[in-house]
A and B are shown apart, each in its own frame.
Chain A
Amino acid sequence: MFNPETLIRKGLPKGHFKDVAARSFLGGITYLVVAIAVLLFVKIIIDGAPVLFKPEAPFVDLDFLTSKNETLHVFDDAQGNRHQLPAAAYSQYISQHGSATLFNEQTYSYSGGGIAGPIAGTALLTIGSMILALFFGVSAAIYLSEYAKQSPFIHAIRLAILNLAGIPSIVFGLFGFSVFVLAVPVITSTPSDRSLLTIPLLIGNYFLSFQGWNSSLMAGCATLACMILPVIITASEESLRAVPQGFRDASLAMGATRWQTIRKCVLPFSLPGILTSSLLAITRVAGETAPIMFTAAVAAKDDLPWQGLKSPFDILSSQVQALPYHIYTLAARIPSSEFTQRAQYGSVFVFLLLVAFLSLGSMILRAKLRSKLKW
């Protein structure tokens, strides 16, 4: 006999405490993670924003973005006023007041002036490596998705590419150092002593010398490009596969060749996908320190990358500063104090802003192109 009274429970539901415990535990962990992220951003914004922004117009400290970084001199003058001057202003001060009236002088490397050098260097590294990575990555993706037969061999290649994405960036750094910095061939009339192999070219007095590109912008770009190639290849291949087969069938049935089909009917429609996923790769390239440590970056450089060159091509073989490496130098290579914080948190803040803008850009671009290209 069914007793409807049994439907009404007495007391708390069964397992009530377990349920509450599980919910609070999982929720607590989630909010903890969020709190850590929030804390991180708040810390950087609190310490970094005042460096970049200022209360009076134009509200952005353009000097910080556009001047080179210099050594910071901290000292007291005869009246007991504390001064913080970057190197150029410091020597001006000395020439006006003489050096006899300085007390308690301390110097902090790289902490004065701005971060124009690292910003320019990061921009060049990013542009260069993206050009290389897109060229090689999209080419490989087109081959894999459009031409290659789906054999076990191609599967193995795809797996290898995927695995490449999991290799730590410091390994790419070492690889770039041993290959691009020390071993790739160059054509030169004066081969270096440490060249692995020199082959006379019999044209003029030139040699093909396997001596590498030294630590240089192009070695850095090549290393960074290797690092993000797997990401670009995988993302591009997916975008290519997302183009409906009907387009390819129709194009081939209209008498187009394979290449015409790819150029006119597949690539244009996969380009938005390729570009948006590449934007995510850009933020990764801009942020990596390890691959450029031995291949391209210097801690200090007097000129901006394009200054003091004999020919425009020399920019490729010169070393550059870079934002992540600059942050690393400021944080780890010089003693940290209240006077180095300005440069440290300023750089980090500018860098975060940059990454945020790029991510936002990629989201907007994706949304725009998605709505434009529907099939």
Chain B
Amino acid sequence: MQTAIQIQNVSFAYGAKQVLHDVCMDIPARQVTAYIGPSGCGKSTLLRCFNRINDRISGAHLTAGSIRIHDVDINRADIDLQELRRRVGMVFQKYNPFAKSIYENVAFSLRVAGKTKRADLDDIVEDALKNAALWDEVKDRLHSSAFGLSGGQQQRLCIARAIANQPEILLMDEPCAALDPLATLKIEELISELKKQYTIIIVTHNMTQATRCSDLTAFMYLGKLVEFGPTMQIFENPKDPQTEAYVTGTFG
């Protein structure tokens, strides 16, 4: 199994506040890896290290270790940040389409990359929307505002937007936290469809969601990686007592 992301002894801090302690794990390609753990355990922070979106927050920095994506250290000084983020797409917890048309939302990442040929854009937008299982619902109103869509549709639009650039890796930070169960189900179906093409990493608070749609699960607690393994094993016979307590619901 090919490794998509190698995390070696990563420690991370916001200013003086240390949030990740010596995390080591290898995330395999073309699989769904889920992060579970109580709020504030650092799972979102770790996810946001993979496309360095944390750079925007002042004081946020890696204090030790390295993150390598397909063997390139992404914290090198000469990394092309824009290209990195094109290769590592991201979907956020609260669906956040731009206040633009559905079409422009999906085309955004292509436009900022300098692709502006209308015919190409049309094709890519259609593909992305089809892959996000949204095409049939919006094909007649591509040029109306994205805010006219329902929450679930908006989140799928965000997924379409994130995959328009054909990334290698798709990061999902609690993608269903703001959605109702039916919309959640749709996103989960979408995830199992998308993992054929992309390496997917998902942060979730919903443990049944982790069991339903992930191949591997990592349990984090207080900024440390407690246990990482196949999802079945984590949920059915975890090695660590903390993991067991968490997945059985006796704490956290």
| Interface assignment of A101: CB less than 8 Å from any CB of chain B | no
Please indicate the chain B residues that have their CB under 8 angstroms from the CB of A375 in the complex.
99, 147
| A248, B98: Cα distance in complex, Å | 9
Stretch at the interface among B83-91, B217-225, B243-251: B83-91
Interface string of B180-223 (1 = CB under 8 A from A): 00000000000000000000000000000000000000000000
Question: Which A residues are in CB contact (< 8 Å) with B147?
Answer: 374-375
Q: Which residues 125-173 of B have a CB within 8 angstroms of A? A: 147, 158, 161-162, 165
Over the window 106-125 of chain B, the binary record of Cβ atoms lying under 8 Å from chain A Cβ atoms (1 yes, 0 no) is 00110111000000000000
Known: A246-B94, A250-B158, A250-B161. 11 other contacts (CB 8 A): A150-B58, A249-B96, A250-B96, A250-B97, A250-B98, A252-B56, A253-B51, A253-B53, A254-B108, A254-B112, A254-B165
Q: Which residues in A have their C-beta under 8 angstroms from that of B92?
A: 246, 249-250, 253
Cβ-closest chain A residue relative to B93: A246
Which of A149, A249, A255, A257 has the most chain B CB atoms closer than 10 A to its own CB?
Answer: A255
Residue B82 at the A interface, CB < 8 A? yes
Contact string against B for A residues 252-265, beta-carbon threshold 8 Å, 1 for contact and 0 otherwise? 11111100100011
Specify which chain B residues have a CB less than 8 angstroms from the CB of A374 in the assembled complex.
99, 147
Q: Do A255 and B56 touch across chains, with their CB atoms under 8 A apart? A: no
**Residues of B that sit less than 8 Å from A by CB:** 51, 53, 56, 58, 82-83, 85-86, 89-90, 92, 94, 96-99, 108-109, 111-113, 147, 158, 161-162, 165
List the A side residues contacting B108 at CB < 8 Å.
251, 254, 256, 264
Nearest neighbor of B86 in chain A, beta-carbon distance = A255
Shortest CB-to-CB span from A209 to chain B, Å, is: 44
| Smallest CB separation, B83 vs chain A (Å) | 7
A80 to chain B, nearest CB (A): 73
Across-interface contacts of A20 in B (CB, < 8 A): none
Once the chains bind, are B99 and A257 in contact (CB under 8 Å)? no
User: Interface on A for B, CB 8 Å cutoff?
Assistant: 149-150, 244, 246-257, 260, 264-265, 268-269, 373-375
A/B interface sample: 21 pairs, CB < 8 A: A246-B94, A249-B53, A250-B98, A250-B158, A250-B161, A252-B56, A252-B85, A253-B51, A253-B162, A254-B85, A254-B86, A254-B112, A254-B161, A255-B85, A255-B109, A255-B113, A256-B112, A257-B82, A257-B112, A373-B99, A374-B147
Q: How far is the CA of A265 from the CA of B108 in the complex (A)?
A: 10
Report whether A255 and B82 are in contact in the complex, using a CB–CB cutoff of 8 Å: yes
Q: Which residues of B contact A149 (CB under 8 A)?
A: 58
Contacting residues, chain A, for B162 (C-beta < 8 A): 253-254
